[in-house]
Amino acid sequence: MSLHAVQTTSPERGHQRNPGFPLDLDWVERVRMNRSALERRASTIGARRSVKKQWQSAWMLKAITLIDLTTLNSDDTPGRVERLCAKARHPVRDDILKALGAEKLDIKPGAVCVYHAFVKTAVKALKGSGIPVAAVSTAFPHGLAPLETRLMEIEASVQDGAKEIDIVIERGQVLTGDWQGLYDQVKAMREACGDAHIKTILGTGELATLTNVAKASLVCMLAGADFIKTSTGKEKVNANLKTSLAMVRMIRWFHEETGIEIGYKPAGGISSAKDALTYMALMKEELGTHWLQPHLFRFGASSLLTDLERQLEHQATGRYSADYRQPMV
């Protein structure tokens, strides 16, 4: 991937959105994941080949376009959200882009992700940028409010201008094998989203087994999810490679059976450029280069952009700078 190959226009036109399918419990019961095999495969990702020089710069610029730039803190304020949106509009300093010969590329993140209370603030701050606002809804991060309340929150976020909704499932439905209940809830949430795309957060660190993760992924896709996402970022165990492999292979199986492409979003703990490139290598090797587009792959991250910009400055100047030279908010 060279600098000139970095995708800066939307390839989403012509992409068929997941219409949802009937719940196939026979398919769900056939799902099995071999933990040791996934761990062995995960240990090879990013280790067999590396990206160097200008190709590494291109991959890092590409990674920026795949970020859901996120602030989900209890002390968030309108001012913090506005500063985050300003960073989203201008994620890399002009002098760095010029030094890399990338000043004409339209580099911007995939979305800005905030709590429902800040959707209007973010929409206003991003007006005219083409960057969508994603809202975490459905009683994030636990997902245990009454269903009616969660559906109302989705509808309110969409009404305020959110183009993407990150919902959380009830982990207990997975742990008890209540696949019908999970399917019905996600389907209802998909309907409440309307034209907004829905990302289903599984909370994978709380699902006990990789087979549970894979089954939950399938049920959410059958219910109409546009993306499946690992974590809220608030669990003790967030995104990791073996869990990502289980979910990505369910996406591949789902595509083989239905022809529908589902997006994947690892979230929680991805904060370095090295980690980002490893996850991109996973997607390229397991699903192909086509999946490295914002409508099919995102990082849920709050600090990843800082390290990407820092590494890009090193590529441009040969020197590492302090983090404060790339302030986030």
* Catalytic-labelled residue, pool 108, 199, 229, 242: 229
Copy the structure tokens of residue 308: 């990407």
Q: What 3-state DSSP class applies to 198?
A: strand
Catalytic residue from among 62, 242, 265, 275: 265
Cα(280)–Cα(273) distance, integer angstroms: 11
Whether 184 is catalytic: no
* Positive/negative CA dihedral, 146, 148, 152, 158: positive
Let me know if 229 is a catalytic residue: yes
Using CA atoms, how far apart are residues 237 and 208, in angstroms rounded to an integer?
A: 11
| 98 part of the active site | no
Distinct helix (H) and strand (E) counts, the chain: 13, 8
Q: Read off the amino acid at residue 315.
A: Q
CA 127 to chain centre: 22
Q: Per residue, what are the HEC states of 135-194?
A: EECCCCCCCCCCHHHHHHHHHHHHHCCCCEEEEECCHHHHHCCCHHHHHHHHHHHHHHHC
Which of the residues 62, 87, 166, 242 is marked catalytic?
A: 166
Q: Which residues are part of the catalytic machinery?
A: 166, 229, 265
